[in-house]
Amino acid sequence: MGKFLLSERFRLEIHWQKCTHSEGEIHFTGAYFSGPVLKEAVELNQADHITLDFCKQTMIVVDGVYIGTFAWNGIEYSENKIFLKAAVLIYDEELKNIPKLNDTDYLVIDTRSHENEKHNYNALYPTYVVGKDDELYDYRR
């Protein structure tokens, strides 16, 4: 993953084949979870969501917070991946100055605060956008 470091044990990635943007939503085709944390993860609900916190990466271009809800409706387990059906990222549509995600981007989620004993005290998952070059996206460009 180039120069972007995150403890391997807690890294969860969201990849997709295609993303389609609409007002306040991004719909993903061919989305799946992958990463080392899946070896320790509990079974997911068929329909669920997680709240992604993009603040650490986007604070240089956003006045407030940048938090989105990533939801899915259906999952299918495969070796080292969890495929997600009807995956969508719902976000505050006032965040129009954030560059749009591309089909070649992916998200990296830090799950270290979401082990069973800590999860109830941590509502957000710190999340980072990574570009096709496997480098953390630099919003200052």
- Give the predicted TM-score (pTM) of the model: 0.83
Amino acid at 29: T
Tens-place pLDDT, residues 75-104: 999 989 999 999 999 987 656 556 788 999
| Residue closest to 68 by CA, chosen among 24, 110, 38, 98 | 24
3-class DSSP string for 11-53: EEEEECCEEEEECCEEEEECEEEECHHHHCCCCCCCEEEEEEE
Please give the mean pLDDT across all residues of the chain: 81
pLDDT for 8 equals 74
- Ordered by start, the domain boundaries in the chain are 8-130
CA distance 44 to 4: 27
Beta-carbon contacts of residue 60 (< 8 Å; ≥ 6 apart): 139, 140
pLDDT for 139 equals 64
Q: Do the Cβ atoms of 125 and 37 come closer than 8 Å? A: no
Tens-place pLDDT, residues 35-71: 998 988 778 899 999 999 887 766 555 666 678 899 9
